[in-house]
Amino acid sequence: MTVRPRVGVAAALVALVAAGCTTEAPDYQSVWSTPGTTTAPPETMPAAPVPIAAFLEKAGVVGQPVVFDKITDLTVSMPTPRGWTPYQGTNLGPGTRMIVKGDTYPTAMLMVFQLDGDFDAREAVTHGDVDAEMSENFTELNSSTTDFNGFPSSMIEGSYDLNGARMHSYNRIVIATGGPVKPGAGGQRYLIQFTVTGYAEKAAEEAPDIETIIKGFTVAVPKR
């Protein structure tokens, strides 16, 4: 079976970005889309989880996709193991970097959005795992809300169903502040989305490459 790489969170993030704000594995088809509403009384149905894109949009945040290796006030990168190549699909959002091994999976995707607006970054990242958790038959294997290199972050790893295949995905969201342009000035804030996805049945086989990519993922303020 051939399953074409998906880039759904990208589209969602791009939507928040362009409109006011969908992903590659887990289906983050909503990183910039608002969940459906319900008319059920609040006492009979708990509030629906709010994806990070919807949280930011409600806060009035405007985003703009940027090319990660063109940013000067923040260093964002991921390594490319031997045998992996860039994926140039037309379904990728502006500035999205995706690498793939073979014709489909595993894949690794990196997106960066410049954020403008007032919001609580630590509260925002508590919404970072919602899209993954909404994937079909999602099973969580690991998660964390520990800061990443000093920046607010959320990470979730798990498996889910996609077109008849069982997938394994690692997703991390980081909200980072770039270095100030001049002394005393506040830094620009960015949302970084990093996702690595493969077939669950090949997780052990692909583990060395995937660990290399995850361990090599970097978000840091460059030294002046």
Q: What is the pTM of this model?
A: 0.80
What are residue 161's DSSP bridge partners?
A: 166
88-99 mean pLDDT: 86
Residue predicted with more confidence, 88 or 184: 88
Whole-angstrom Cα distance, residue 75 to residue 60?
Answer: 26
- The per-residue pLDDT for 213 is 98
Q: Hey, is 132 helix, strand or coil?
A: helix
Nearest in space to 151 (alpha carbons), one of 214, 74, 38, 45: 74
CB-based contact 73:188 (threshold 8 Å): yes
pLDDT for res 16: 42
Share of the chain above pLDDT 90, in %: 67
Q: Which long-range contacts (CB under 8 A, 24 or more apart) does 38-45 make?
A: none
**Cα(153)–Cα(143) distance, rounded to whole angstroms?**
11
Which of 135, 85, 136, 139 is closest to 107 using CA atoms? 85
Domains of the chain: 8-220 (3.40.1000.10)
Report CA Rg, the chain: 17
- pLDDT score at 50: 94
d(C-alpha 125, C-alpha 59), whole Å: 13
- In this predicted model, what pLDDT tens digit does every residue of 97-151 receive, in sequence order? 999 998 889 999 999 999 999 999 999 999 999 999 999 999 999 999 999 999 9
**How far, in Å, CA of 68 to CA of 174, rounded?**
13
